[in-house]
Amino acid sequence: MDLKVVEYEKKDGVAILTMNYLKRMNALSDQIRADLRTACAEACRDDEVRALIVTGKEKAFCAGGDISGFKFDTASVKKFVRDIIDFLGMMEKTPKPVIAAVNGLTLGGGLELAISCDIIIASEKAKFGVPEANIGLVPGFAILRLPEIIGRAKAKEMAMTCEPISAEEALKIGLVSKVVPHDQLLDSAMGMAQKIISKAPFAVELIKSSINRKMHGEELEYAYESVGLLFKTDDAKEGITAFREKRKPTFKRM
């Protein structure tokens, strides 16, 4: 495999995918998405692999979408939105169980990546947030999935206030399954993976596909269109420009 910013390790029937794009805090760049796609495909082809773990290096699991080179023309907007949502959908549809071992900061697209996995185990140092409204955007995939996981009111609060929450609060509201000491994170994820792969593989696959059976319908088409339109608003242009220039955005009031 030609992986540039994701490390792939196979251990005891588990594929461990570690994002290593430190200069952008593991932001979901084109390269990270491509590497994760390649790694997931390899893990699914390998009969010795029964489960996957996705994690990050150093202080961040994934700090969000990489908008450093974003362009506002219609073709670029449509491609960016569809690529991101299709990638997250691919993670959900991976037939083998996927555990997110969240090691640190998990924002925006990073939180969306985590919830596209089947189970989230969090380090005590992890923080979760959806800060897109700070720059005039919305978390397109999280808007679809978060209410199902943590309830409508809490999903609205997280998305509207953009305030990050701690690992302990994430556990309390059901966003994560378990919070562990930071130095035990990968061992805990491996322990969970070993419990899962000790069960009948076809039963595990059916459990996943049955619980996910109503996903990937009209809601994704809605996300493609609505988020794509939002990217072309003046507020989004101002928010993204301000983010790049490291200043506070000035949004127009209606």
Environment class of 213 (CB within 10 Å of its CB; exposed 0-12, middle 13-18, buried 19+):
exposed
Q: Beta strands 105-107 and 60-62: pairing type?
A: parallel
Q: Is 112 one of the annotated active-site residues of the chain?
A: yes
Q: What is d(CA 207, CA 77) in angstroms, rounded to the nearest whole number? A: 35
Q: Look at the alpha carbons of 89, 126, 139, 247 in this order and tell me if their dihedral is positive or negative.
A: negative
SS3 214: coil
d(CA 147, CA 117): 16
Of the candidates 48, 229, 73, 217, the one whose C-alpha atom is nearest the C-alpha of residue 144 is: 217
Query: Which residues are CB-neighbours of 204 under 8 A, at least 6 positions away?
Result: 97, 196, 197
* Rounded CA separation 192/177 (Å): 10
Q: Residue 185, SS3?
A: helix
For the chain, state the CA radius of gyration.
Answer: 18
Q: Is 169 an active-site residue?
A: no
Give the active site residue among 7, 48, 58, 132.
132
Q: Tell me which of 42, 92, 112, 163 is the catalytic residue.
A: 112
Instruction: Tell whether the torsion through CA atoms of 205, 83, 133 and 121 is positive or negative.
Output: positive
H-state helical runs in 23-73: 30-45
- Distance, in Å, from the CA atom of 8 to the CA atom of 38, rounded to the nearest integer, reads 10
Strand partners, 17: 8, 54
Q: Kindly list the catalytic residues.
A: 112, 132
